[in-house]
Structure 1
Amino acid sequence: MVERIDKSTSAEALLAATGRTREAWRALLEQAGALEWTHKATAEWLVNEQGVDGWWAQGITVDFEQTHKGRLPGQQADGTFVVSKTRTVPGERLDALAAVRTAIEARHGDAHGENLAASYPVVRWRLDDGTRLSAAAQKQGKSGTGINLTFEKLPDPAAMAPAEEEIAAIFEAAAG
């Protein structure tokens, strides 16, 4: 299951990258009025007014929302949920991605889009239930290529466990 962001990002890394602790960011955001702001407004304020790198600003914003606004782990700003897992698949980048794509297409049909020339080649599907699935190839390593599978637009937390199971089944089929 997806963890709270404060469990998946180390306090030491946050402090080193931003100069503040998680608690200090929470207090500063609360004092600044972020309880009334959108996700986008909060992240932009962190970048523009506090000089925080965009990646860290997203994490600080999610942490604040989980702590003060009831945002659940895996929940996106639009209220839907996401599940994402990465596994190393043997082979060069496009070959590893093709193996996973074949496994997905056997289960879900043809992809609706792809960008194989991107820095991180990606293939995408829009599924009949309104969710989206993507497969993206990371940099190739010694033992193969990391392939990230992401289900987006999941309607509620109950849909997360079946999505995680589907991701595991896809990786198993690709390895087969």
Structure 2
Amino acid sequence: MVKKLEQNMGADAMRAATGRDHAGWRAVLQEAGAQQWSHSRIAAYLVEEHVVDGWWAQGITVDYEQAHQGRLPGQQTDGTFSVGLTRTVPGERLEALARVEATVSAVHGEPHGRNMGASQPVVRWRLPDGGRLAAAAQAPNKTGTPVNLTMQRLPDAAAVEPTRRALEELLEAARSGEGPVATPGR
């Protein structure tokens, strides 16, 4: 299940990076009248008026929207949902990503794009139902390379958990070398 941002972004880390915790930023934004603001306006306000780093401004904005504007965990600003999962896959960065690409391609067809020169190499698929799937390889560690699979443009919250399970199956198949798995129930 996708958790609220507050459960994934610790109050101590937020306070250390921004000077305030979740409750503190929510109070600041309420006082500023952000209840009626768009996502981009809230984030810009945090960056411009409070000199918050852009990454933290996005997190604070999502936390505020979840607490005061009815945004659900996993919900994007356009109303669709996304879910992501990261697992360590054996091999160096491009080798691990190639394993995931082969597994995903066996289920979803050839990708529509690759950027292997990015700081996090990525492969992307456009799905027939309008969904978007991306695999991104992080920096390798002692046991392999963490690879993140993210599915975007899910139609509703009910699609999140079955899609998360399908992503987990894809990553497990890539890790074990077992090959393709069933198509996610979208």
Q: Same fold (TM over 0.5)?
A: yes
Q: Report the secondary structure of 2:139's partner residue.
A: strand
Q: Report the secondary structure of 1:140's partner residue.
A: coil
Gaps of 5+ in 2: 179-186
Alpha-carbon distance in structure 2 between the residues aligned to 1:25 and 1:173: 41
TM-score of the superposition, structure 2-length normalised?
0.93
1:166 aligns with 2:166: yes
**Paired position in structure 1 for 2:146:** 146
The alignment of Structure 1 onto Structure 2 pairs a total of residues equal to 176
CA displacement, residues 72-93 of structure 1 (integer Å, 9 cap, x when unaligned) = 0001111111100000000011
**Paired position in structure 1 for 2:57:** 57
CA displacement, residues 31-71 of structure 1 (integer Å, 9 cap, x when unaligned) = 11111110000000000110001111011101110000000
Alpha-carbon distance in structure 2 between the residues aligned to 1:163 and 1:27: 35
CA displacement, residues 113-162 of structure 1 (integer Å, 9 cap, x when unaligned) = 01011110000001111111000000011110000000001110011012
TM-score of the superposition, structure 1-length normalised?
0.98
Percent of pairs identical after alignment?
A: 57
**Paired position in structure 2 for 1:87:** 87
Per-residue deviation, 1:166: 1.2
**Paired position in structure 1 for 2:48:** 48
**Paired position in structure 2 for 1:66:** 66
Alpha-carbon distance in structure 2 between the residues aligned to 1:22 and 1:115: 35
**Paired position in structure 1 for 2:8:** 8
Alpha-carbon distance in structure 1 between the residues aligned to 2:51 and 2:70: 26
**Paired position in structure 1 for 2:184:** none
Per-residue deviation, 1:23: 1.2
Per-residue deviation, 1:21: 2.2
Alpha-carbon distance in structure 2 between the residues aligned to 1:80 and 1:30: 25
Root-mean-square deviation over aligned CA pairs: 0.8
Q: Report the secondary structure of 1:123's partner residue.
A: strand
Alpha-carbon distance in structure 1 between the residues aligned to 2:134 and 2:21: 34
Alpha-carbon distance in structure 2 between the residues aligned to 1:104 and 1:139: 20
